[in-house]
Every structure is written in structure tokens, then in C-alpha cells.
Amino acid sequence: MNLAETPFEFVTVSYLTRIGNQSAGTLAELLTGLEHCSDASIFHHTFQTLGSHHFLTEGFSNDFAQWALSDTNRNDLAEQLAALDIRDYVSIAALRSDLCRVVGDYCAAYPHFASQSALERFYFCESVEVTAPLGRNARTLDEFREGIEHLSHSGFYFHFISSRLRLQLQTNDFSHWLADGLGLKSLADSVNQIDIYTNTLDSTRAKLLRLIDRERRRA
């Protein structure tokens, strides 16, 4: 069995939601907010919300899309915002740019909708992140499997979803270590392909464990 030189260290994360001073009551104000809010706010309403709403696998992608749908009744805009896939981004700046482009284009195309009042205001919030080591690490695939099996939702989210920004790569902590630590490139790629938008954190974990088990049988 492969033994990694550098162990995988399991960590968990917890977020405080900080209420910002910006809010939006129209799509035009949402655009202004998107242009000026902090990076922590963009992260909160896209990456972090995907983790905290992981159990919604139909039609929930990010807070901006949900607000466009439920509070401004703009289904077409909501669809475009929901289609932005955070796996395509390794920087908040690029994600912000695309969010502004989608909302900006919509406001330009439909100026009468841009100034229409929403049912409820959108409040820009920020995530304040605190991480904590779980005191567990893995050097082998078996130890890795056991660690994943016992990980909390937040820990799993930290390693599988928010890690993309930390690594600045289009991959996650698990795949990164499987490829670099254990040399299991093919397994790493398969893990990275699990769709986090159509799976819950639990079903993502189950798929990941099945992929690991298949690799163990092969070995």
C-alpha cells in the first residue's frame, strides 16, 4: 500500500456570518452591491452558501440567484446566476466580475426591471472563518478513508469545496493529496468530477468512499 510522505491533515471549519452595511432593494442596487462589497461577501453568498444549503440539490446554487428568483421574480436572471459554477473559479475577483457582468447585462437589457422593488431586501453578509485541526491525519488510503467517513459536514465542505480558492487550482484538498501524496492521479480526477451541485455533502461523501473502495479492491 502507498505511504504518503506528507500526511493528509483533517481540519474543520466554522463560519460566523457578519452582517454588512450594504443591502439591495432592486436589481440595480444589487449590481452596485456586487461591485463594491468585500471579497468575504462574495465568498459568503456563493461558496459558503453552497455548503450550508448542500441538501438542496434542485435549483439552489447561490444567494444571488435565489434572491433574483424569489424576491424579484426574474426567473431568467436567476437561471443565469445559478449557472455560474464555483468550480470554474480560483479567485473571488473572477467570480465577482462574472456576477457583475450577468446582472449588469440584465439591467441594461431590461431597465424597467432593474429599478423594480423586490419583495424583500438583499443583505450583503460576510463569512468570518475559523479553522480547527481535528488531530487526525492519514498517510495511507485506508487511513484517508476512515478520516473522511468520520468528518463533519463542515470539515468535508472545507476540504472539498472551499479548498479550491485556497489551492488556487481547479481541484480540491482530497484530489490534490490523492494525486500528490499517493500518486493516484486517476482516482484524484474521478473525485474532482463529483458534481457538488446535484449531490448533497452526504451523497458526495458516499460517492467518494465508493471510489476509494474501488481503488482499494484494485490494489
* Closest by CA position to 199, among listed 14, 162, 191: 191
In the numeric block, which cell numbers belong to residue 177? 493529496
Count of residues interacting with another protein (CB under 8 A): 35
State which of positions 181-210 bind another protein (CB under 8 A). Answer: 200
Q: Does 145 bind another protein (CB under 8 A)?
A: no
Site string for another protein, 25-54 (x = CB under 8 A): ---------------------------xx-
In whole angstroms, the minimum distance from the beta carbon of 118 to another protein comes to: 12
In whole angstroms, the minimum distance from the beta carbon of 103 to another protein comes to: 20
Q: For 69-76, which contacts have Cβ atoms below 8 Å and span 24 or more sequence positions?
A: 70/119, 71/118, 71/119, 71/120, 71/122, 72/26, 72/27, 72/113, 72/116, 72/118, 72/119, 74/27, 74/106, 74/113, 76/106
- Contacts with another protein by CB under 8 A lie at 12, 14-19, 21, 23, 52-53, 55-56, 59-60, 66, 70, 119-121, 123, 125, 128, 130, 132-135, 150-155, 200
